[in-house]
Structure 1
Amino acid sequence: MNIGDRVRLLHGNEEGVITKISNAGRIEIEIEDGFRIPAMKNEVVVISASERQYFGDGIKEEKPTSFSSKSNDLDQNDGVYLAYLPINDKDHSIYLVNPSARNYLMMVSEVYGDNSRTLVSGELSSKGSKKIGEKSISDFEDWPTLLCQFFPIHQKIEKTQPSFERRIKFKATSFFKSKGKAPVLDKNGYIFKLSENTKDIDVKQLNEELKKDSAVEITTKFPKPEKSIDLHIEKLTKDFQFLSNNEMLKLQMDTFERNLNYAIAHGMDEITFIHGIGNGVLKKEIHKYLSQLGNIKYFQDTQKNRFGYGATLVRIS
């Protein structure tokens, strides 16, 4: 029984996809309407296995969608795709794939509320692909929203094609149904067409906003943070008992990023974040974030006898 398996409750009518498995034998299931319900492993059965056991080979299996490589097949060689291709049973490489005859300027970002992080930008060539990262299925429920933006390149005088963007926040019930063969790469995985259900980008309005922003003098003053920031959830909110684990982690990371930016803006040499020991998830996320920044000299675990619990010292360049 793995994340992504479709299961049915033994003592109910609900069906859904496993999104989380704990060591205590508990699982989390996302049912068709998007709600997630808890259950024990022994309370569910994997649908595909049980159907074959009781009904034999008469059950039709859903075959993966495949994409033809014929150049004259416009429906299957048009548009831009997002492909999650397995590295092993948990980890997947993420690719942008362009089987169309047009080149695009593109940018893909992860969105965290009002913040974002650019994963890749540049030109996506016709009949080409570009790797944008890797993700683990075991962290599926924590995957951030993806913002994918595309600007068609017109290499000759022709009718102007609209730029478009697509925001994607996957649901387990739809993600694990999307098995197929990626065009161009010709590999099996989870495939999504990005050039469907898109929102057009108003380039003129975008240029006007950029000009407006560049003409405005920045007068906002950021508060100077303390040298040590305590990220224990009880220090950040009184209502932590009403938050899910994901919501608590998001609040802690938002506080960390905000105070780090304030420290950089004020020219501080160093700042310490007290994250505790716990299960190590918050520390791991902080270290992952810091490792991707270019204006950090180094970061390290600071002395535990000083704080009494886990903390990370950040040296700012």
Structure 2
Amino acid sequence: MNVGDRVRLMSGREEGIITRILDNNIVEVAIDNDFTIPVARREVVVIAPEEAKFLRNDAPQPAARKEPAAPVLATKGIYLALVHQSEELLAVTVVNNTDYDVLFTSGEDRNNIYRGLQNDKLAPKATRVITHYHLKDFEKWPSIVVQFLQHRNGAPSLFEPVTKKVQFKAASFYKSKKTAPILNKEAYLFQLDTKPTVVDTDKIKEQLAETAAPKDNYKLQAPEHEVDLHIEKLTEDYQGMSNSAMLKKQLEHFQDALDRAMASNMHEIVFIHGTGNGVLRKEIQKILSKTVGIKYFEDAKKEKFGYGATLVRLR
């Protein structure tokens, strides 16, 4: 049971078309192509094409008036085709009229809010219905967003992925009616692709090589055994700095020195923060208490630093 199948309700004679799979047990059905209702899967049965062909022609039918058909598009390409299921209901269909496999995703964009619809791999000369729309709701239709990538085993070229957004406007929509390739049915047709853009594989190889190559010109420099965090030691332009700005500068310098000490396998390091109001000391010790790889920390030698330095032992 798939989107686009014609079904009959088990509880009556109503028929409709499946327009959406809501979940594993519920489908949305357009009844008489006028209104949609959610129905349990067990309450509907798919109508076989043979039934429509052989069992629905008991009464003589008036001869249909022949109208000139629109020219079939001979050009290759990838299209979005809106095909009449009835006078009111349209099946929104992705058409792959190329010699390549097409990997695609599709979704709706309504007021810059995206909702995914379907994704699939389309073989060459294949189609896939992604959703259904009612003409009476035309003004409320969202934009359709299709992303796709063309591929073929043994192909000599690699193509760029493409994202195409189709916005429906009345002025252009009704002028887009043509015969859709593959389907060979009249449809509102929008081409999604242009000439495929070939990827420069040599450039990709160069980028990968640059990413994988070791940075020989960089050498980790271990910090001094004693790191002075007094603001006048870190910058000359501190007179106009706020207390919070100075604290941020000191903590950044502390973190950089600690990271380099751990990376260079130092056994210990001393941070000279002074006494002051104790804010810097508390912030440093708060960070040390949460850092993995710290064996312990304590006040450094009081005879040398007083209470203005912290000794950090590293693992």
TM-score by length of 1: 0.39
Larger C-alpha radius of gyration, 1 or 2?
2
TM-score by length of 2: 0.39
